Structure 1
Amino acid sequence: MIYDHRTYTCHPGRIKKHMQLYADHGWEVQRKHLGEPAVYGAVETGDVNSYVHIWVYKDAADRSTRRAALAADPDWQKFLKLSSESGNLASQVNTILTPAPFFDPK
């Protein structure tokens, strides 16, 4: 099992606009291909212009297959275009995590 931990940072004052854009155009299509995220939330302390989502995959091949299907979906391409045109995002950091040997995800 692997976790794809993603942190996106918006320009100040634009996170609500970006989250609404995603809710309207990205949420359903992303879940259609990637399944339910383990976490999807806005940062409340620290960099409050950020939000985090964590997706769970069986392995790297599963991640690659599902992300390729997402990338090929015209509805996702539409969202990416709208997101780019909005100029809301300042940065993105992706981290792949594996569970510690003593951690039993249920």
Structure 2
Amino acid sequence: MIFDHRTYTCRPGTIKKHMKLYADHGWKTQSFHLGAPVLYGAVETGDVNSYVHVWCYESAQDRAEKRAALAADPEWQAYLKISADAGFLVAQVNTILTPASFFTLPGAA
């Protein structure tokens, strides 16, 4: 199992606009291909212009296959264009994590 931890930073004052844009145009398609995220949330303290989402995959291969299918989806490509045109995002940091030996994802067998 691996986790894909992503932090995105928006221009000040635009995070609510970006989250609405994503809710309206990206969420359905992304969650269709990747499944439900472990977490998707806005930062409340610290860098309040950022948000984080964490996706869980069986393996690096599983991640690569799901992300390739997402990238090929015309609805996702349309969302990426809308997002780029809006210009709300200024930074992105992706980190791949592996769980500690004692950790079990809640709800997992």
Q: Who is 1:47 aligned against?
A: 47
Measure, in 2, the Cα distance between the counterparts of 1:8 and 1:74: 22
Q: Give the C-alpha shift of residue 101 in structure 1.
A: 1.2
**AA of the residue aligned to 1:90:** V
Identity %: 69
Measure, in 2, the Cα distance between the counterparts of 1:9 and 1:29: 21
**AA of the residue aligned to 1:74:** P
State the Cα deviation string for residues 9-60 of structure 1 (Å, max 9, x = none).
Answer: 0000000110000000000000000000000000000000000000000000
Measure, in 1, the Cα distance between the counterparts of 2:21 and 2:61: 29
Q: Does 1:78 align with 2:73?
A: no
Task: Identify unmatched segments of 5+ residues in structure 2.
Answer: none
Measure, in 1, the Cα distance between the counterparts of 2:104 and 2:96: 17
Q: Who is 1:38 aligned against?
A: 38
User: How many residue pairs get matched?
Assistant: 106
Q: Give the C-alpha shift of residue 95 in structure 1.
A: 0.3
Structure 1 length-normalised TM: 0.98
Note the aligned Cα RMSD (angstroms).
0.5
